[in-house]
């Protein structure tokens, strides 16, 4: 079986851990859990491929995340549909680590279930497309598009 290291990248509180829990365990918790450093989960994608998912703590701290990215096969960028600043954080990360753009990637625009709180504008959608051509409006709470996004990333890797 081939293992593929997939790194989840995004600002704190965008829902990275909740997305991993939804995909790996089909579970959602209302409790906010802060990831310290990195949390690692695995999921068998098909009989020959296993994802090793690195849920890396929020990316506000100065380049603390770079060692965790070594050996990554793919990236899942995560932004919060209710918090446009989360996209600015991703842009800062990519400016600091442009090599990330060479890896297969998808972007999850998370918290799509919070329809009344969405603060997304067309300009943000264009910025997300510059980061990743494969974008998914997701909800860790409802499960909307979570599995589909991970499956799309698996196809990009194969």
3-state secondary structure 47-101: CCEEEEEEEECCCCCCCCCHHHHCCCCEEEEEEECCECHHHHHHHHHHHHCHHHH
pLDDT at 17: 93
Domain of residue 31 covers 2-157
Residue that is written with structure tokens 């209710």 in the block: 82
Residue count of the chain, please give it: 158
Domain count, the chain: 1
| CA gap 84, 81 in Å, rounded | 7
Q: What is the CATH number for 13?
A: 3.40.50.300
133 contacts 104 by C-beta, under 8 angstroms: no
11 contacts 86 by C-beta, under 8 angstroms: yes
pTM for this entry: 0.91
What the block records as the tokens of 69 is: 């990215």
Mean pLDDT of the chain: 89
Pairing of strands 105-110, 74-80: parallel
Which of 12-21, 59-68, 110-119 is the least confident region?
A: 59-68
Helix (H) or strand (E) holding 16: helix 16-25
- pLDDT per residue as tens digits for the range 103-126: 999 999 999 999 888 877 777 778
Alpha-carbon torsion (115, 34, 102, 6), positive or negative = negative
Task: Please tell me what DSSP assigns to residue 116.
Answer: G
What the block records as the tokens of 61 is: 């701290």
Band (pLDDT 50/70/90 cuts) for residue 155 is very high
């Amino acid at each position: 079986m081939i293992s593929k290291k997939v790194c989840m990248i995004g600002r704190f509180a965008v829902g990275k851990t909740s997305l991993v829990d939804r995909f790996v365990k089909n579970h959602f918790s209302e409790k906010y859990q802060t990831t310290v450093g990195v949390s690692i989960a695995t999921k068998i994608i098909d009989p020959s491929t296993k994802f090793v998912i690195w849920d890396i703590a929020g990316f506000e701290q100065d380049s603390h995340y770079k060692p965790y990215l070594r050996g990554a096969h793919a990236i899942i960028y995560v932004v919060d549909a209710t918090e446009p600043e989360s996209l600015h954080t991703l842009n800062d990360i990519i400016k600091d680590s442009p090599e990330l753009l060479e890896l297969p990637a998808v972007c999850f625009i998370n918290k799509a279930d919070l329809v009344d709180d969405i603060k997304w504008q067309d300009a943000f959608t264009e910025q997300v497309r510059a980061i990743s051509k494969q974008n998914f409006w997701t909800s860790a709470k409802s499960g909307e598009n979570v599995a589909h996004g991970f499956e799309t990333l698996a196809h990009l890797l194969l």
